[in-house]
Structure 1
Amino acid sequence: MSDLEFTKILLVEDNPADIRLFKEAFKESNFQNEFYSVKNSSDANNFLNRQEKYTNVPKPDIILLDINIPPTGGFDVLKKVKTNDHLKLIPVIIISASRNERDMLCAYHYHANAFIVKPSDYNSFIKFFDSLGDFWINWARLPGEMEI
């Protein structure tokens, strides 16, 4: 993916205040992106599999996933992504308020690409998203839609 393309980002987060903060931070970040959000694991699974009301959504390039989402939790979404041949190459970044090592170990056990504790203030969010964009767009290479 070239840095002239838009990066499609899916946020899976149930807290409306955090969703607003993510949206604002993405607007102010220094990389081009298409931002999508869903509020629970059911909608996340439907979005990723393009089912129900999500039949026309794009496949995301990056998933930002909170682990404490209803009804089945973020780890359920992570397991389903990483065991699905059409989704498993999408980087999944766990973004959680949890500092619990068990949560971190579980995330990496299920093949999360990173575990990040949510930034605590708006300026930290902006810095985080600029760093995210710099790393995933300028340094990391993401696979396209081509099948192996």
Structure 2
Amino acid sequence: MSSEDGRECDPIEILLVEPSPGDTRLFTESFEDAKIRNSIHAVSDGEEALDFVYRRGEHADSPRPDLVLLEPQLPGDDGMAVLSELNNEPLLADVPVVILTSSDLGEEIVKSHGLEADHYIRKPVAPDEFIRFAQSVERFWISIVRRSSTAD
């Protein structure tokens, strides 16, 4: 992946927290089709998401995610609990979280819980929308890399 100024960036370690196996497959394939250099690690519930970010249990050797794509409606620990944990843990607070909303109300619902994510992206519905979704995640990531590199 290249940044907006043409510099080559390291691959992104993305944690996708998505309960639907079909959507997980579409997300993964769309990132491959968009030729975005990344590693996607998918989990299907909130408890496993927290195990991944804390590197517990079967995720002890997992990489630290650079970016979390979070579906807020999850079995077990819901997305709000995961977002709250990520926001309140100093070691994880710098990991950007993108909430995958299914409607225009998604952002308002998250904020109604007193929580804030770094970005909100409407979850694609049709398979052809997944490529545009992957590209929007890439643009979001590049803007973060660019912002952090100008802050240094």
TM bracket, shorter-chain basis? 0.7 to 0.9
Matched with 1:47 is: 52
* Structure-2 separation of matches of 1:4 and 1:116: 23
Matched with 1:124 is: 129
SS of the residue 1:64 aligns to? strand
- Deviation above 3 Å: which 4+ runs of structure 1? 1-4
How do 1:27-42 and structure 2 match up within 5 A? 27-42=32-47
* Structure-1 separation of matches of 2:51 and 2:103: 26
Residue 16 of structure 2, aligned match among 2, 11, 20: 11
Query: Does the alignment pair 1:72 with 2:77?
Result: yes
Provide structure 1 residue ranges, at least 5 long, that are not aligned to the other structure.
144-148
* Structure-1 separation of matches of 2:112 and 2:43: 22
CA contact (8 A) 1:10 1:37 kept: yes
* Structure-2 separation of matches of 1:52 and 1:23: 24
Q: Which moved more, 1:123-132 or 1:52-61?
A: 123-132
The structure, 1 or 2, with the larger RCO (C-alpha pairs under 8 Å, 6+ apart) is 1
Matched with 2:66 is: 61
Quote the offset at 1:100 in angstroms: 2.6
Change (3 A) 1:3 1:135: farther
Matched residue count: 142
Deviations 1:86-106 (A, max 9, x none): 100111000032433541423
Taking only the aligned residue pairs, the percentage that are identical comes to: 30
Matched with 1:140 is: 144
Provide structure 2 residue ranges, at least 5 long, that are not aligned to the other structure.
none
Quote the offset at 1:14 in angstroms: 0.5
CA contact (8 A) 1:82 1:88 kept: yes
* TM-score of the two chains, using structure 1 as the length reference: 0.86
Q: Which letter maps to 2:99? A: I
CA contact (8 A) 1:104 1:115 kept: no
Q: Which letter maps to 2:68? A: I
Matched with 1:103 is: 109
